[in-house]
Structure 1
C-alpha cells in the first residue's frame, strides 16, 4: 500500500462557472420566471430527454416528488404494493407510502448492492403494482433479469435512477428501457440545482398525465381553473432549469473522469485487509459513480459509525451507508406490512450487512487525481488498521 502523501484537497461540489452564471442571467432577463411562461424548463426537459434517450422528460421540484409522481401516473393507489430494495435511500419506499401504498422491501445483491431479481420475483402478489429497481451509486441494476420478470409477471418497472444520470446497461440508456424513470438534482447529486428532479416518460400519454398531476391537475392553456385530475404543485422554476442546463453540459466529462478513477481506487481498496469495495457488473457499461462504496465486513453499526468519524477526521468526505428502510422509524409511520422489522431482516440478510458495514465517499473524491486515489486508500487502510 502506498503511504499517504497528504493531499486530500479534492475538487469542490457543486461545480459551477460561467455557464451557470450566464444561464441565471438568461432566466432573469427573459422576464418570465414561471415554467408556464418561460423557456428554460421546456428547453432543459428536451435536452435531458435527448441525453437519456427518452421520449419525454418532466422537470419537477425534487427526486422524491419525481418518484411519487411516477408511481401516481402508473396508477399506484392506497392498498397497492410496490416492491423496493431493502437497502436504498428512504425516498424509494416513502414515495409509495405517501400514496397509501405498501412498500415491500426485498433483499439486494451483496456485491452490487442492487435489488435481487429473484427476491423481487418471490415478493410479487396479486396486489403488486410496481417493481422499483434502484441503480445504487450509479450502477444500473440487472435490467435483463428485471425486464424478463416484468414481462413474465405483467408488473411494470419504475426506475429509481436518482444516482444514475448518464448511466447505461449494455449500451442502453436509462430512458430507452420503455419504463418510467425518476431522477434527482439534490445538492449532492451528479448534476444539481440545489434541489430538483425529473421524470422520464416512454410515451406521450403517461407524460401528459404526469404534466397534469405535477401542475395541480390543470392543463397548460387553462384559464378557467378546470382541474382535470388530482395533483400537486411539483413544477420546477426557471432559475433552477437554467442551472441544470449548464450542469448537464458538463456531466459527460465528469463521468469520464470518475470512470477512470474508480477502477484504480477499487483495486487499491480491495488490497486493504478487511475492505470489500462495491463490485461492478460489466453489463453496466457506463457508470457515473454517484458514490465510492465499500464494506468492512464484521463491523457492528456502532463500530462502522466510529470508523466513518475517523475517516472524516482524517480528511475524507465519508458517510455511513443508508439504513435499510425497515430499520427507520419513517418506514413504520406510514406502513402496515404483515411483518415486523426483525422478520423482514431475516429475509434480507445482505441488506442487514450493508446497513451495518457499508461506507461511502462523496463522488467528488473520484474527480481528484490518480495520485489522490492512492491517498484515499492509504487513509482508509490506516483507519481500518486502528479499529
Structure 2
C-alpha cells in the first residue's frame, strides 16, 4: 500500500523535490565551439557569397530526411511560408490547419493572404483528426498543413489519400519532429514539402533558423529563389525574378547545425525509448493518460511528452495547479497552450489586414471541443530535454506524479 503523503511534504510547500537534477539544453561540446570559432576567424560569415557551410548542411539534412532537396531559412515560420507560396496557393484560398499548435502554423496562412480553416484534433494523439478533414474542404481549399505535434506522426496515409482525392497540397509542419518516423520514412519527407524549426527549444537547434525539405524540383527551385530575394542560380546578383526576400541563414548557424546533427539520431533513440518506458510507468497511475502512438510503425522524437490529466483523480485540483506542483517536484513541464489558435485575438478580432480574406470569414463561432479540452483541462507537457534523461529519471517523473496524487487524495480523505 502506498504511504500517505501530506500536502506539507510536497515541494511546492517546502518539501524535498522528487527530481534531484536539472536537464540542460542545448547540449554542446568543444567541437561545436571550435566549428563556430573557425568560421568566425575566417571572416566568411555570410551566405551565399562566403563559404559552403550552408550548402553542406542543407545536403546533410536532406540526406538525413531521405529527401532530394533542402532550403534553409531564418526560422520555421518562414519555411512554412516559402512552402505555401511555392505550392501555388493564391489570395483567398483556404488552407486546413489544426487549432492545437503554435501560432505560426496558421498565421503564415494569413501572411500569404489565405484563409486558415481549423479542423479539430484526435483526442488520443492531439494531431489533426483525419476523419474531420473532408467536412472542412470547399472549392477554395488548396492545401493542408498537418502538424506532427510533440514529435508524433500524424496519420499520413489517411491525409495523403484525402489530399490526392481533392487535389490538395500537403505541407508537413515538422517543427517538433526532427528525426521522427512514420512507416520507415522521416517526417517532413512524406508530403509535398516538410518544414522544420531550429529555434532554441527544438530537438535540433542553432538558436534560430528553419529549413524546408522536398522531393519536388520545381518546389525546390521556387523556395530557393524566394529565400534569396527572388534570385535564380543562373541570374545576375541584381536580377530578381520572384517576390522573395532575404531569408538566408549564416555560415555560423550552418556549421553549428552540422555539429548538432551528428547527435540527433542517438538523442532521438533515447527520447523514444524513454517515452515508451514512461508510458509503462504511468499506465498504473489513475488520472494521467499517455497519448497514443497509434498502431503503425513509427519513431516518436518526443519534443514533448504529453499526458492527459484528469483532475477528478487528483482531488479536483485544476490543471494549472497540478503543473505548478509537478514543476516544483523538479519535472520540467508546462500546461501548454491556454486556448486553441482560433481564440487568439488575431482571429477573434480579425486583426489580419489581408485584402483577399472575405468579410464573411469569422472565427468567433469556431468550436473544436477536443482542442479546447486539451488546452483548458487535460494537456500537460514534459519538455524534450527531460526525455534525454536516464530510466531512473523517468521513474522519478512517475514518482513525482504519484506523490502529488497521494497528497491530494489524502486531503480529500481527511476532509481538510
TM-score (norm 2): 0.87
Structure 1 segments unaligned to the other structure (5+ residues)? none
CA, structure 1 residues 326+386, in 2 after alignment: closer, same or farther (shift >3 Å)?
farther
- Are 1:18 and 2:33 counterparts? no
- Are 1:28 and 2:40 counterparts? yes
CA contact (8 A) 1:35 1:42 kept: no
Q: CA RMSD in A?
A: 2.2
Query: What are the Cα deviations for residues 226-260 of structure 1, in whole angstroms up to 9, with x where unaligned?
Result: 21111122111110111100111100010111111
Structure 1 distance, partners of 2:2, 2:236, is 67
SS of 2:117's equivalent? strand
CA contact (8 A) 1:274 1:296 kept: yes
1:1-387 matches, cutoff 5 A: 6-37=18-49, 38-220=51-233, 222-223=235-236, 225-297=238-310, 303-322=318-337, 323-332=339-348, 333-334=351-352, 338-341=361-364, 343-345=365-367, 348-356=368-376, 357-385=378-406
**Number of residue pairs aligned between Structure 1 and Structure 2:** 383
CA, structure 1 residues 92+337, in 2 after alignment: closer, same or farther (shift >3 Å)?
farther
CA, structure 1 residues 224+145, in 2 after alignment: closer, same or farther (shift >3 Å)?
closer
Structure 2 distance, partners of 1:2, 1:281, is 32
Structure 2 distance, partners of 1:214, 1:256, is 33
CA contact (8 A) 2:17 2:330 kept: no
Structure 1 distance, partners of 2:132, 2:35, is 45
CA, structure 1 residues 103+302, in 2 after alignment: closer, same or farther (shift >3 Å)?
farther
Structure 2 segments unaligned to the other structure (5+ residues)? 4-15, 409-416
Q: Which range moves more in the overlay, 81-90 or 282-291?
A: 282-291
1:11, CA displacement in angstroms? Answer: 3.2
Structure 1 distance, partners of 2:400, 2:131, is 37
1:298, CA displacement in angstroms? Answer: 5.1
Structure 1 distance, partners of 2:293, 2:22, is 24
1:224, CA displacement in angstroms? Answer: 5.2
CA contact (8 A) 1:2 1:378 kept: no
Structure 2 distance, partners of 1:216, 1:306, is 48
CA contact (8 A) 1:162 1:184 kept: yes
Structure 2 distance, partners of 1:60, 1:2, is 53
CA, structure 1 residues 226+298, in 2 after alignment: closer, same or farther (shift >3 Å)?
same
Q: Which range moves more in the overlay, 26-35 or 58-67?
A: 26-35
1:120, CA displacement in angstroms? Answer: 1.2
SS of 2:382's equivalent? strand
Structure 1 distance, partners of 2:406, 2:117, is 38
Larger radius of gyration: 2
Query: What are the Cα deviations for residues 292-323 of structure 1, in whole angstroms up to 9, with x where unaligned?
Result: 10111358x99222222222222221112223
Structure 2 distance, partners of 1:364, 1:240, is 21
1:12, CA displacement in angstroms? Answer: 1.1
Query: What are the Cα deviations for residues 117-138 of structure 1, in whole angstroms up to 9, with x where unaligned?
Result: 1211111111111011000111
